[in-house]
Amino acid sequence: MSHKAERHSISLLVSNKPGVLIRVALVFSRRGYNLDSVVVSPSHQSGFSRMNLTASGDKEILVQIIRQLDKLVDVIHVADHTGEEIVECELSLVKVACPVDKRTEILQIADHFRARGVDLTEDTLTFQTVGSSRKLDDFQLMLEKYGIIEVVRSGKLIMARGRKET
């Protein structure tokens, strides 16, 4: 029976030690899961880090992955937030070709997406955008006809809503 690959949002609380990220990534790799996005940052608790992962694959395999992650010594907590109400956002920097005669047009598109100009040269504009992955995708799509020079994205940040722990 084949299952549809879906995108999952996963959070981990881990010990802030060398090698933890590679051990987590290997668990996904051995099961044929692709990590689409990885964000690691210090947690509010000293000595711990928060990992936010976006991965594509089968839900049943993900259940096995979560069980394996729970067995790793340095993993304190792991949760799949797929389908849950969560707060999520991503940051992107988009550098676009911007001839003077197109500048107003491009700035209007940026304004619509609440993008903030962070660099301007004679022939380029660089924007910072924060929001859902879809919003960032849509913004990029609108700028493609002008010539995107470079894009850097942070990866998805996720947090459980209310008092529930991520």
Q: Which domain holds residue 93?
A: 87-158
Gap between the Cα atoms of 141 and 92, Å rounded:
13
Average pLDDT in the chain: 92
Tens digits of per-residue pLDDT, 58-100? 888 888 999 999 999 999 999 999 888 889 899 999 999 999 9
91 and 152 housed in the same domain: yes
Q: Which of 65, 83, 101 is the last residue of a domain?
A: 83
19 and 63 housed in the same domain: yes
> Is residue 152 within 8 Å of residue 95, measured between CB atoms?
no
Gap between the Cα atoms of 155 and 157, Å rounded:
7
CATH number of the domain that 115 lies in? 3.30.70.1150
Dihedral of CA atoms 4, 31, 160, 46 in degrees, nearest 10, equals -170
Q: Is residue 1 part of a domain?
A: no
74 and 20 housed in the same domain: yes
CA 144 to chain centre: 21
Tens digits of per-residue pLDDT, 106-140? 999 999 999 999 999 999 999 999 999 899 999 99
Q: What is the pTM of this model?
A: 0.79
76 and 94 housed in the same domain: no
Please give the pLDDT value at position 4.
61
DSSP state of 13: E
Nearest CA among 14, 5, 90 for reference residue 55: 5
61 and 96 housed in the same domain: no
Q: Is residue 131 part of a domain?
A: yes
